A and B are shown apart, each in its own frame.
Chain A
Amino acid sequence: MITRQFGSEVRWMLRRPRTIIGLFGLVLVPIIISFGIWTAGDGGGGPGLAAILQGNGMVVPIFTLFLSLNLLLPLVASIWAADGLAGEAQHGTLRGLLVAPVSRVRLLFVKLFGLTAMSLFAVTLMAVVGIIAGTAFLGTNGMMTLSGTTLSTGQGLLRIALFVVLVTFQMVSIGAVALAVSSTTEHPLVVQAATMTTIIVFQVLGQFQSLDWLHPFLITTGFPGLIDVMRDPIPLGQIWDSTLLAGCYLLIGTGLAAMRLITKDS
């Protein structure tokens, strides 16, 4: 029963026109980046990871996801979370699900599953397109890390897979918090606005040295540390911290959403 509901949820998300548009937009990112770096030629590059992109196409997926994690991926997660509960309430379909009946906890899990599956799909899609576009435009010879070592293609793919999982987890955690917001309203735009405002405000707060006591609480603080995937050997410290931080957000978001759903009048 639950697998059938999971399947229905994912099919429903994939059938939505804005999902398709969103995925199309996401896929453009690695293509534009590859193209841009290719056009810039040897003089190109840039700060941080961008500096090693030239001739190193396998890094494009990681660079793309790293960049998108700051704004684009949270936006997509918030849209999915917004449509998941607030959108269904708006269309009156949430009532239909509840009298079917789908228990409220089950409903939350269906929504979380949809969010996770679609996030994983979107991130993987970006990574795959990134590998193709990066290799096509910039060429590749294994994967050169930030530490100056060169990994074999297989190891490089493993790194990309690891990064995909890590980024997806961050995205799902943001989405879980957005789901909690989504359970309180019938207006999907409110959810998106609230989520994106929070992400942006967090990033701004992260810039202030005087607020450094606050930084460990902000999910955005964990984003930069994920780049450690591109170091060799991989230092796990920051990656663990970021993932645990996101895990706390996931727990809080899911818990709040559950509390709200259970007590909610529909």
Chain B
Amino acid sequence: MTTSTSAPVTAPAKQAVAARTRGLRKEYGSTVAVDRVDLELPEGAVLGMLGPNGSGKTTTIRMLLGLVRPTQGEIELLGRPLPDGAEQALPHVGALVEGPGFHPFLSGRENLIRCAAFEPLLEKRKIKQAVEDALERVGLAQAAHRRYRGYSLGMKQRLGLAAALLVPRKLVVLDEPTNGLDPAGTREIRRIIADLHDRGTTVLVSSHLLSEVEATCTHVAVLHRGTVVAQGELTELLQAGGSALQVVTPDVETALGALRQAKISARPLGEGLRVELAGTSAPQVIETLVKAGVGVHEATRWKTGLEELFARLTEAEEAERGMSAVDTLDGGPR
């Protein structure tokens, strides 16, 4: 487990970076929305930006897209410094920020055509085809002629996604893409993200839904109170977050003694004990126990879920507020 202030887990240096921020800070009047955000988005990764509402995810994304000028800090997007390089970088970036924004009196198709007219990478004669393709991709082809006004929340979200996918992108930024979607819609979004990932597109997904991030992302950045508290590859983070071994044994006392001697931390839990795997490994623990003559009935690897990780990262402050901001769908023992 690492935090940004101590030793951040970052991608290997040789790997190319799609976006990077250094010491990002944004003040609105006297309130600091975002502070000391050092974010790395490796090329080809699907980065889940995780954090409760108000943790600074959207502000960070808006700064990444040049919509908001940081008070301090540097941003590099697709190799260009922002906001000055926005005109070179942004054509390759598709974004859905703060919910879909379209004109209610136009149909879905007309809305996309208007978006397409302002896409620098789209040639005029290809606009029509690009729009139809995007509509098809998000499953809106049937409803494309209807006015946006009459769209359901899910359809609006899909149209927003379609606008982000009008042009083949190097980076797609999706801010809370599953907001308002039913489970089928959510699956659809996951499929699209997976599809983008397969094609090598870098994706940045922000969400307050842990399950969503866990299911779709290769990398995670956890934001809390306007700063990054952890980031790195999802698997690494979870492992580093301290996995444990659940051992079922009748000789709890003997087992604890043996482990203490071997300087392995453990505590009784239920019908057995829980062994922290920090600085050791499952085979080593079992070997120690067996050598001490403890009968091991069952040993289960207890992997930290994202929820647990997240809870631990934000514990102290969230204690009094509860976890209301964080949706708890699944997680726990795996």
* A residues with CB within 8 A of B: 1, 4-5, 7-8, 11-12, 15-17, 91-103, 263, 265-266
| Contact B98–A95 (Cβ < 8 Å) | yes
B67 interface residue, CB < 8 Å from A? Answer: yes
Point out the residue from B93, B104, B113, B120 that lies within 8 Å of A1, measured CB to CB: B120
- Whether A101 contacts B124 by the Cβ 8 Å rule is no
Q: Which residue of B lies closest to A102 (CB)?
A: B118
Q: Which residues of A contact B101 (CB under 8 A)?
A: 91-96
Residues of chain B contacted by A7 (CB below 8 angstroms)? 117
CA distance A96 to B98 in the complex (A): 10
**Knowing A15-B105, A93-B103, A266-B68 touch, does A100 contact B98 (C-beta < 8 A)?**
no
Residue of B nearest to A96 (CB): B101
User: How distant is the Cα of A1 from the Cα of B69 in the complex, in angstroms?
Assistant: 26
Q: Report if A101-B91 is in contact (Cβ < 8 Å); known contacts: A265-B67, A266-B67.
A: yes
Q: Is the interface of A mostly helix, strand, loop or mixed?
A: helix
**B173 CB, min distance to chain A CBs, angstroms:** 8
Give the shortest distance, in Å, between A187 (CB) and chain B (any CB). 16
Top 3 nearest A-B pairs by Cβ distance?
A92-B101, A8-B117, A101-B90
Known: A92-B98, A92-B100, A103-B87. A98 touches B115 (CB 8 A): no
B165 within 8 A of A: no
Interface size class on chain B is 20 to 34
Complex alpha-carbon distance, A127 and B333, angstroms: 77
Q: What residues of chain A lie closer than 8 Å to B114, measured between beta carbons?
A: 8, 11-12
B99 pairs with A265, CB closer than 8 A: no
Task: Tell me whether B310 is interfacial, beta carbon within 8 Å.
Answer: no
Q: Using a CB-CB cutoff of 8 Å, which residues 59-97 of chain B contact chain A?
A: 62, 65-69, 86-87, 90-91, 93, 95, 97
User: Can you sample 14 A-B contacts with CB below 8 Å?
Assistant: A7-B117, A8-B117, A8-B118, A12-B114, A15-B110, A16-B105, A98-B66, A99-B65, A100-B120, A101-B87, A102-B118, A103-B87, A265-B69, A266-B68
Closest chain-B Cβ to A44's Cβ sits at a distance in Å of: 41
**In the complex, chain B residues whose CB is within 8 Å of the CB of A266:** 62, 67-68
Interface pair B67/A99, CB less than 8 Å apart:
yes
**Given contacts A1-B120, A4-B124, A100 and B67 within 8 Å (CB-CB):** no
**Cα separation A197 to B285 with both chains bound (whole Å):** 80
Question: B117: which of A4, A93, A101 is its contact (CB, 8 Å)?
Answer: A4
- C-alpha gap A1/B87 in the complex (Å): 14
Establish whether residues B90 and A17, one from each chain, have CB atoms under 8 Å apart when the complex forms. no
Q: Taking A91-B101, A91-B103 as given, write out 8 further A-B residue pairs in contact, using a Cβ cutoff of 8 Å, ordered by the A residue number.
A: A8-B117, A8-B118, A11-B114, A16-B103, A93-B103, A96-B115, A98-B67, A265-B62
> Are B117 and A5 neighbours in the complex by a CB distance under 8 Å?
yes
Q: Closest CB of chain B to A90's CB: distance in Å? A: 9
B87, B117, B119, B124: which has the most chain A beta carbons within 10 Å?
A: B117
Q: How would residues 162 to 178 of chain B score, 1 for a CB under 8 Å from any chain A CB and 0 otherwise?
A: 01000000000000000
